[in-house]
Chain A
Amino acid sequence: MNVTATEVTPAELPGRAAALLDSGHRLALAAAHEDPDGSLRVVYLFTAASPERRAELRVRLDPSDPVVPSLAHLSFPAGRFEREMHDLYGIVPADHPLPHRLVRHHHWPRGWYPMRADAGPPPEFGDPEGPYPFVQVEGPGVYEIPVGPVHAGMIEPGHFRFSVVGESILKLKARLWFVHKGLEKLFEGRLPADALPLAERVSGDTAVGHALAFCLAVEDATGVEVSPGAQRARALLLELERLYNHVTDLGALCNDVGHSILNAQFGRVRERLLRLNAATTGHRLLRGGVVPGGSVLLAVPDPERLKGLADDIGELVGLALGHTVVLDRFTGTAPLSLDAARDLGVLGYVARASGLDVDARRDHPLTDLRPALTVPTRASGDVLARFEIRAEEIAASIALVTDLAYGMSPGLTSYWPPLSAPGERASGVGIVEGWRGTIVHRVELTADGTLARVKIVDPSFFNWPALPVALTGAIVPDFPLVNKSFNLSYAGNDL
């Protein structure tokens, strides 16, 4: 693995970033930092696969006039990271094509930046920072459907504004960011082991993914080597998480086309997987399995039981796709083109369903999973492709778990805490293929080993903008189905 970190001046940044993007890198993370002396610093992490490369560009800014040249014209995700930085730290991206608020709630007072050291407790609602009207689509017969932020189901808040003619969607604007929790700030000042429960709760359905990315980042920063056996146990937990979430999604997709009996059947399989999770880690959502420096397993999953579940799931998937109405609802619904997927930088099954072959298990391996690891892709990018990708990933995950469980023994393996504190400020990066896609954490530790800054990037941050793109031209009654086929996290997106 080739890791570089370069200090650049703001003026050099666009040229260096363009060179990295041209050589096959993607912008995986961009985060602002406030150093103890009050100066501001922005770190851009670029990653690339085969051979695995990680390149950091670090830009120091003038604290009295924090302006950084915008990279939005080079990379779409960069533009979103810059808006996030602006809302949380007050760093101004110069020449940004869409300099609207992103994370900032409408009622945060002007000039209040919650991640700054002097932010203090959350203030009263104040003078908002400028109007941010929805783009109005005009024409004969065009009307708007506002949905949310409070929804009928048990989901988090998000406002969707459909501009519709008849039943066809002309434009959809999703406005999220209603529940900023200040999660990244909560990490600050804690010891890594004390911050692990926070990492497990970034997004409830991705406990292993986020805990593992956090632990990898901390281990990278402290130089702790994790034993190969513990890494394999972690990889196994990651696959168990993928399994139960994918099974839930397959059931939910059937339910959204009104075929509830398959949802009930997938629910039955899900329950068996959750019980398997509870037997493996003591928690149905797999909390507590990943610890800094290693892993804890109460038991190793029985491959025979998983084989039985795999047969069950295969049969249910066959029933779903053999149903003409279900197949009709899935086929050709809300396709996301390969070009759009690449330009938006989408990740996970959404990317693979559109033909973008990305998977951090292969591109940034935690442990060598070959030859059991297969990365399925589809070209059509529609709901059917996202359904089929999940079904194939379930089969691949079961093969991986069977492979990983061979010769594995339960128990605690951990090399933590490290023998000595880092002694100086240290940073580390963790990259994990969670079930939704690539999760990246970057941590900075102070000299005494407490967390100075944690930046979390959930794949949902990259994938949310793809939803309106895929939906253009779809019909309103198909929205819930398409939304479910993306199944993006609100919590992981709005930290």
Chain B
Amino acid sequence: MTPAGTVGAAAQVLLVGAGSPLLVGVMRQVRARMEGRAGAGVWQPWRDLRKLLRKEAIAPDGTGPLFRLAPLVLAGTALVVAAVVPIATTASPLDGSADLFAVTALLALGTVALALGGLDTATAFGGMGASREMVVLALVEPTILMSVFALSARVGSTDLGAIVTSTLHRPELVASPASLLAAVALAVVVIAETGRLPVDNPSTHLELTMIHEAMVLEYAGPDLALVEWASAMRLTVLLGLFANLFAPWGIAGASLVMLPVAVVVFTVKVALLGGALAAGEVFMAKLRMFRVPELLAGSFVLAVLAVAASFFLV
């Protein structure tokens, strides 16, 4: 454990916690401007969170402690993941104990907790949203594991920090077939996992078409604020992980001096990725629900090919 690592991990949590609503704001603003609308401004998600936090906490009749607990678990896992993954530093003190599998499991734990919270309401929408989210999760998790596994094979470690460091030392690996295939597969699952088009439409008001939003329909006030905040953090972390797996330049190692630079570089990277994702969404429509598994199965195939390529084509 180095002081730079500890400070870096703390900086990561702060950056993700404070910056993720801004990322959502930037993405909405990009989309609004590209559609010819004025948009609400990048601070709107923070204003929404402030509004929600001032409301009283309320739970529907008949729900148990699970309903109130789920947003806490979701936000907690997102914060832990933010501390672990190589966002600004590869030397996080938790890095050794939390590798690729732990990160994937933590993300899944948050999703499952929220799905249980949705089921706890015993409403049709909670159940419907939970069942759809589980379908997506079941198809997404293996792909995340496989595609990152393709990258870890050449390093000989599932430690995310080690994978990123090795890419820093051998930048030509980014253009290898394994890496490119894994990038495409991971991009698809990041979109699915964060509930963006064409898998889910984050801006719809049509309750029957929702996946993620249907699950959290009964949440209100501070609980909803937690869910929204955690969703924004997951989006940020996944985009950040994606950026650093394939373009790790600028990340700080054990050096304290590099840390501010790394924070700025990371912010730029994630803002660019988020902006590109939002811009791409403008030209996309939502897939028919039954086509979503086809898309995710396709990404899984790419991930498998990436693993095969990492063994045979290096």
List residues of A whose CB falls within 8 A of some B CB. 143-147, 152-153, 167, 254, 256-261, 264-265, 268, 323, 325-326, 328-329, 475-480
Decide: A325 near B124, CB < 8 A? Known: A153-B205, A258-B204. no
> Of residues 201 to 217 in B, which have CB atoms within 8 Å of A's CB atoms?
201, 203-209
**Residue in B31, B35, B208, B284 whose CB lies within 8 Å of A476:** B208
| B198 x A477 contact (CB < 8 A) | no
> Of residues 183 to 200 in B, which have CB atoms within 8 Å of A's CB atoms?
197-198
| B284 x A258 contact (CB < 8 A) | yes
Name the prevailing secondary structure of the A interface residues: helix
B290 to chain A: which residues have CB within 8 Å?
167, 475
| B208 x A258 contact (CB < 8 A) | no
Chain B 261-293: CB-based contact to A (< 8 A → 1; otherwise 0): 000000000000000000000111111111100
**Residue in B36, B124, B284 whose CB lies within 8 Å of A145:** B124
Q: How many A-B residue pairs have CB under 8 A?
A: 75
Decide: A325 near B285, CB < 8 A? Known: A258-B201, A264-B35, A264-B36. yes
| A152 x B35 contact (CB < 8 A) | no
Shortest CB distance B200–A (Å): 9
| A258 x B37 contact (CB < 8 A) | no
Q: Provide a sorted-by-A list of 5 A–B residue pairs whose CB atoms are within 8 angstroms.
A: A152-B205, A152-B206, A153-B205, A258-B198, A325-B198
Alpha-carbon distance between A404 and B204 when the two chains are bound, in angstroms: 40
Chain B 106-133: CB-based contact to A (< 8 A → 1; otherwise 0): 0000000000000000001101100000
Which B residue's beta carbon lies closest to that of A480? Answer: B206
Alpha-carbon distance between A259 and B34 when the two chains are bound, in angstroms: 13
**Residue in A143, A265, A325, A476 whose CB lies within 8 Å of B286:** A325
**Residue in A143, A265, A479 whose CB lies within 8 Å of B124:** A143
B206 to chain A: which residues have CB within 8 Å?
152-153, 256, 480
Alpha-carbon distance between A257 and B203 when the two chains are bound, in angstroms: 12
| A325 x B287 contact (CB < 8 A) | yes
A167 to chain B: which residues have CB within 8 Å?
289-290
Alpha-carbon distance between A391 and B205 when the two chains are bound, in angstroms: 25
Alpha-carbon distance between A152 and B197 when the two chains are bound, in angstroms: 21
**Residue in B127, B283, B285 whose CB lies within 8 Å of A257:** B285
| A329 x B208 contact (CB < 8 A) | no
Chain B 16-40: CB-based contact to A (< 8 A → 1; otherwise 0): 0000000000000001001111000
Shortest CB distance B85–A (Å): 29
Shortest CB distance A171–B (Å): 15
| A328 x B288 contact (CB < 8 A) | yes
Which B residue's beta carbon lies closest to that of A268? Answer: B36
B203 to chain A: which residues have CB within 8 Å?
260
Shortest CB distance B214–A (Å): 10
Nearest 3 Cβ contacts at the A-B interface: A258-B286, A259-B285, A480-B206
Which B residue's beta carbon lies closest to that of A145? Answer: B124
Alpha-carbon distance between A273 and B154 when the two chains are bound, in angstroms: 62
A259 to chain B: which residues have CB within 8 Å?
284-286
Shortest CB distance A384–B (Å): 13
> Of residues 1 to 60 in B, which have CB atoms within 8 Å of A's CB atoms?
31, 34-37
B204 to chain A: which residues have CB within 8 Å?
258
| A261 x B283 contact (CB < 8 A) | yes
B209 to chain A: which residues have CB within 8 Å?
256, 477, 480
A257 to chain B: which residues have CB within 8 Å?
285-286
A325 to chain B: which residues have CB within 8 Å?
198, 284-287
Shortest CB distance A358–B (Å): 30
Decide: A258 near B285, CB < 8 A? Known: A152-B206, A167-B290, A475-B290. yes
B125 to chain A: which residues have CB within 8 Å?
145
Alpha-carbon distance between A260 and B125 when the two chains are bound, in angstroms: 24
Alpha-carbon distance between A264 and B35 when the two chains are bound, in angstroms: 6
B198 to chain A: which residues have CB within 8 Å?
258, 325
**Residue in A147, A329, A477, A479 whose CB lies within 8 Å of B285:** A329
A147 to chain B: which residues have CB within 8 Å?
124, 207-208
A326 to chain B: which residues have CB within 8 Å?
285
A143 to chain B: which residues have CB within 8 Å?
124, 127
In the complex, besides A259-B284, A259-B286, A268-B36, 9 extra interface pairs with C-beta distance below 8 angstroms are A258-B198, A260-B282, A261-B35, A264-B35, A325-B285, A477-B208, A477-B209, A477-B289, A480-B208
Alpha-carbon distance between A258 and B34 when the two chains are bound, in angstroms: 15
Shortest CB distance A350–B (Å): 20
Most B CB within 10 A of own CB, among A257, A258, A329, A475: A258
Alpha-carbon distance between A477 and B290 when the two chains are bound, in angstroms: 10
B282 to chain A: which residues have CB within 8 Å?
260-261
A152 to chain B: which residues have CB within 8 Å?
205-207
| B285 x A144 contact (CB < 8 A) | no
Alpha-carbon distance between A329 and B209 when the two chains are bound, in angstroms: 13
B35 to chain A: which residues have CB within 8 Å?
260-261, 264
Alpha-carbon distance between A477 and B198 when the two chains are bound, in angstroms: 14
Shortest CB distance A31–B (Å): 36
A477 to chain B: which residues have CB within 8 Å?
208-209, 288-289
Shortest CB distance B133–A (Å): 13
A329 to chain B: which residues have CB within 8 Å?
285-288
A475 to chain B: which residues have CB within 8 Å?
288-290
A265 to chain B: which residues have CB within 8 Å?
36
Alpha-carbon distance between A33 and B87 when the two chains are bound, in angstroms: 76
Alpha-carbon distance between A265 and B201 when the two chains are bound, in angstroms: 19
Alpha-carbon distance between A172 and B59 when the two chains are bound, in angstroms: 30
Alpha-carbon distance between A144 and B122 when the two chains are bound, in angstroms: 12
Alpha-carbon distance between A479 and B204 when the two chains are bound, in angstroms: 14
